[in-house]
Amino acid sequence: MNRPADPDVLLRPRPPSPLQEIRDERFDRHGVQLLLKRDDLVHPVIPGNKWRKLAPNLRAALAQGHGTLVTFGGAYSNHLRATATAGRLLGLRTVGIVRGDELAGRALNDSLARCAADGMRLHFASRGDYRRKAEPGTQARLLAEAGARGAYVVPEGGSNAPALGGCAELGRELRGCAAVAAVACGTGGTLAGLAAGLAPGQRALGVPVLAGGFLAAEIRSLQEQAFGGPAGDWALAEDFHHGGYARVPAELDAFAADFASRHGLPVERVYVAKLLWALTELTASGAFAPGTTLAAVVTGRP
Ligand SMILES: *Cc1c(COP(=O)(O)O)cnc(C)c1O
């Protein structure tokens, strides 16, 4: 693979992503101001929180002299795709360990085909091994089987201590802008970092897109690893997952299409639509006092 002329294009700090003020009667009626933090525009190639989380890991991998990155994800993972693209642009080899060895003999879906086209080597792990991938013994065996021994390891979803540092920058960009900064959560890494970067008195609100209720413990553990203890004021609104990961009921899809046409932005369905729905519902139920400013982080694009 060729190294690009200027790896800095991917790694140099970016200007703050735009903050877009919108008018929407569903918020106006309750005296609530909604701002959109357009993190989908933070980087031209790697969108949103995937760039925030990957860039510090890529800097660390290069500084430590690694030639290969290995990471983990499901068959539709945005994180796998972002890692594959970053590897191609930086001239780093990438290996993706994918959940589900039943996929090994099949044609690749579009998402995995794009990873492969970016040069990522795909290794399909059994669901049992995938579940235990963070245990040292299992991880060492998976890396050996995938031909990635000694590679720089980025965990599933890219959420580790360097990634939380990158997401804290997102919080710092929102200082003084809003009382509440809200974000959709998968692994919770973005919320964990964002909360740490806000100023005292600001609150972070996370909207999990997976069912299960395990996320708060996960976020505490991520903050412990990254910052040595709890950081910032955060809470979760757990009732807006719409049945679970990647479930998009027709009414959510219609809500997202309507929001997109009212405000002229593409609304990603797996995460961003659930966040905007949650803020609309919470506002309608009086959860935010009149005069509250909300910043909704648009973490990615469709
Ligand atoms: C991955 C992703 C998230 C979830 O981020 P976590 O740090 O895993 O919680 C949110 N929004 C979009 C668009 C994503 O691709």
HSE-up (13 A, CA, CB side) for residue 226: 30
Q: Which tokens is 27 given?
A: 């918020």
Residue 220 sits at φ, ψ, to 5 deg, of -60, -40
- Can you tell me which atom of ligand 1 is nearest the CA of 192? 7
Judge if the beta carbon of residue 48 lies within 6 A of ligand 1. Answer: yes
CA of 76 to the centre of ligand 1 (A): 13
CB distance 156 to 79 below 8 Å: yes
CA of 187 to the centre of ligand 1 (A): 7
To the nearest 10 degrees (0 to 180), the angle between helices 48-63 and 161-173 is: 130
CA of 292 to the centre of ligand 1 (A): 25
CA of 299 to the centre of ligand 1 (A): 7
CB distance 10 to 91 below 8 Å: no
Q: How far apart are alpha carbons 274 and 263 in whole angstroms?
A: 16
Judge if the beta carbon of residue 73 lies within 6 A of ligand 1. Answer: no
Q: How far apart are alpha carbons 298 and 41 in whole angstroms?
A: 9
Judge if the beta carbon of residue 280 lies within 6 A of ligand 1. Answer: no
Residues of the chain with pLDDT under 70: 1-6
Q: What is the C-alpha radius of gyration for the chain, rounded to an integer number of angstroms?
A: 19
Judge if the beta carbon of residue 169 lies within 6 A of ligand 1. Answer: no
| pLDDT at position 2 | 47
Domains identified in the chain and CATH numbers? 8-45+159-297 (3.40.50.1100), 67-150 (3.40.50.1100)
Judge if the beta carbon of residue 159 lies within 6 A of ligand 1. Answer: yes
Stated pTM of the model: 0.94
Judge if the beta carbon of residue 160 lies within 6 A of ligand 1. Answer: no
- Can you tell me which atom of ligand 1 is nearest the CA of 301? 13
Judge if the beta carbon of residue 190 lies within 6 A of ligand 1. Answer: yes
Within 10 Å of residue 139's Cβ, how many Cβ atoms? 18
Judge if the beta carbon of residue 85 lies within 6 A of ligand 1. Answer: no
Residues β-bridged to residue 20: 36
